[in-house]
């Protein structure tokens, strides 16, 4: 029977990229007859506290022998001893969106601690699912051999492009990303402050409760540059409302320092939007060259110039919009991604040799 247990850190219904990926895969697999039990763990992650440790241990203890269990990397990377404890009686698969050690803002000791911990945890599992070729290559530094990795890139929901061919009278920029240091919204505010001579509006959509100090920093920058009337911090929005944001935008901007894939990039392409982003992590691969402009992460001047060229040069904007719509035709849907996920699960789940 096609069934497995998925374990994630915290509420499975969270609207950040990794959780959305997990939910879409589960939804698509269930539609084809899979039975999937989704467990959200209490406690603090990825630097686990006692509550988190107990939650993962209890969740695995409850699983019958030989159960196929997929654990999101955020939930297991900091708890290698627990993964090791249950690995002999369960078929455990890791789902890694990006290594914990690659999170922006970590000091060297934290990076080293996560690298050691995650390397140990990944050594204990049957196989590793990743969401990009970039992350697959990155895991070589965590001693994961290529034959133990399956790359399952995200899908998209393709629907007719609702936006008119004409742009908004005042160009509307859109950034959908949790407001955290890795996403780089502070850099976007600084870049836009140097484009005050141009007409534009910008919407920042994303959770405001993950990094209070950073959110305050972004708000302060908006106020300092007197951009309150031009940059909106809209917080997290329901998934069903996001298509309207894409449809109402002229340009998508993701200034991240690093992404393990960058699902919102393909979502923007699915809506025919040209993109300005960075080459951080997998982003250099996720965005086709013909569909937008990529700059070095952290370079405010380059980000500013890329946005300016999109706003000031109609030929540049039109060329990249056409490229985005061409790229749209090459995107895969979630059902295709889920089928590949199921095939990889079967491969890894059957690989365990038991006495």
**What separation in angstroms does the CA of 148 have from each of 39, 67, 354?**
24, 19, 18
Confidence of residue 355 (pLDDT cuts 50, 70, 90): very low
What's the rounded Cα separation, in Å, for the pair 11 and 15?
A: 10
Residue 354 is predicted with a pLDDT of 41
Residue 104 is predicted with a pLDDT of 87
Task: Answer for the pair 331, 22: CB distance below 8 angstroms, yes or no.
Answer: no
Residue 336 is predicted with a pLDDT of 97
Residue 350 is predicted with a pLDDT of 64
Task: Answer for the pair 113, 239: CB distance below 8 angstroms, yes or no.
Answer: no
Q: Which domains does the chain have, with CATH numbers?
A: 3-155+333-349 (3.40.50.2000), 172-328 (3.40.50.2000)
In this structure, the strands spanning 35-41 and 68-72 are unpaired
Task: Answer for the pair 263, 244: CB distance below 8 angstroms, yes or no.
Answer: no
Question: Look-up: residue for tokens 């996001």?
Answer: 242
DSSP string, 259-283: BSS-HHHHHHHHTT--EEEE-SBTH
66 CB-near residues (< 8 Å, 6+ apart): 89, 90, 91, 354
CA distance between the termini of the chain: 22
DSSP string, 73-95: HHHHTT-HHHHHHHHTTSEEEEE
pLDDT tens track for 180-214: 999 999 999 999 999 999 999 999 999 999 999 99
List the structure tokens of 200: 């534009």
What's the rounded Cα separation, in Å, for the pair 162 and 186?
A: 30
Average pLDDT of the residues in 217-229: 98
List the structure tokens of 306: 């890329």
pLDDT tens track for 230-240: 999 999 999 99
pLDDT tens track for 53-100: 999 999 999 999 999 999 999 999 999 999 999 999 999 999 999 999
Q: Which residues pair with 8 in a beta bridge?
A: 40
Residue 162 is predicted with a pLDDT of 64
pLDDT tens track for 256-288: 999 999 999 999 999 999 999 999 999 999 999
Q: Which residues pair with 232 in a beta bridge?
A: 203
Residues 7-17, buried b or exposed e (16+ Cβ, 10 A)? Answer: bbbbebebbbb
Number of alpha carbons in the 13 Å side-chain half-sphere of residue 30 = 12
Mean pLDDT for the chain? Answer: 95
Minimum mean pLDDT among 124-128, 318-322, 345-349: which range? 345-349
Q: Is the pTM of this model over 0.85?
A: yes
Task: Answer for the pair 127, 348: CB distance below 8 angstroms, yes or no.
Answer: yes
Residue 236 is predicted with a pLDDT of 96
In three-state secondary structure terms, 144 is coil
Residue 126 is predicted with a pLDDT of 96
Task: Answer for the pair 224, 196: CB distance below 8 angstroms, yes or no.
Answer: no
**What separation in angstroms does the CA of 247 have from each of 161, 164, 167, 217, 268?**
7, 9, 11, 29, 9
What's the rounded Cα separation, in Å, for the pair 73 and 88?
A: 19
336 by Cβ neighbours in 10 Å (0-12 / 13-18 / 19+) ranks as middle
- Give the other-Cβ count within 10 Å of 239's Cβ: 13
What's the rounded Cα separation, in Å, for the pair 204 and 194?
A: 18
**What separation in angstroms does the CA of 243 have from each of 125, 129, 162, 309, 331?**
37, 28, 9, 25, 17
């Amino acid at each position: 029977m096609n069934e497995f247990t998925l374990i994630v850190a915290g509420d499975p219904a969270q609207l950040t990229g990794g959780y959305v990926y997990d939910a879409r895969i589960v939804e698509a697999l269930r539609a084809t007859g899979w039975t999937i039990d989704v467990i959200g763990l209490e406690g603090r992650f990825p630097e686990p506290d006692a509550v988190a440790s107990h939650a993962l241990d209890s969740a695995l203890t409850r699983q019958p022998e030989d159960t196929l269990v997929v654990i999101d990397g955020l939930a297991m990377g900091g708890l290698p001893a627990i993964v090791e404890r249950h690995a002999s009686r369960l078929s455990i698969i890791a789902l890694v969106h990006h290594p914990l050690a690659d999170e922006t803002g970590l000091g060297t000791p934290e990076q080293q601690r996560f690298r050691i911990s995650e390397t140990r945890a990944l050594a204990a599992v049957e196989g590793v699912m990743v969401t990009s070729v970039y992350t697959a290559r990155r895991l070589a530094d965590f001693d994961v051999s290529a034959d133990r990795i399956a790359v399952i890139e995200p899908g998209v929901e393709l629907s007719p492009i609702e936006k008119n061919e004409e742009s908004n009278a005042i160009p509307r920029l859109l950034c959908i990303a949790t407001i955290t240091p890795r996403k780089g919204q502070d850099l976007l505010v600084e870049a836009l402050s140097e484009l005050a001579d141009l007409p534009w509006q910008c919407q920042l959509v994303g959770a405001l409760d993950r990094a209070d100090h950073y959110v305050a920093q972004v708000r302060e920058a908006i106020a300092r540059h007197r951009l309150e009337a031009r940059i909106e911090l809209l917080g997290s929005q329901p998934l069903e409302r996001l298509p309207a944001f894409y449809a109402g935008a002229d340009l998508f901007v993701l200034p991240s320092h690093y992404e393990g894939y960058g699902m919102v990039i393909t979502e923007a392409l699915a809506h025919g939007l040209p993109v300005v982003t960075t080459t951080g992590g997998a982003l250099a691969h996720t965005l086709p060259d013909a569909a937008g402009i990529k700059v070095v992460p952290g370079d405010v001047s380059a980000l500013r110039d890329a946005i300016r060229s999109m706003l000031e040069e109609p030929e540049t904007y039109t060329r990249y919009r056409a490229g985005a719509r061409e790229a749209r035709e090459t995107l895969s849907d979630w059902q295709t991604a889920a089928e590949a996920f199921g095939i990889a699960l079967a491969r890894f789940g059957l690989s365990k040799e038991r006495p």
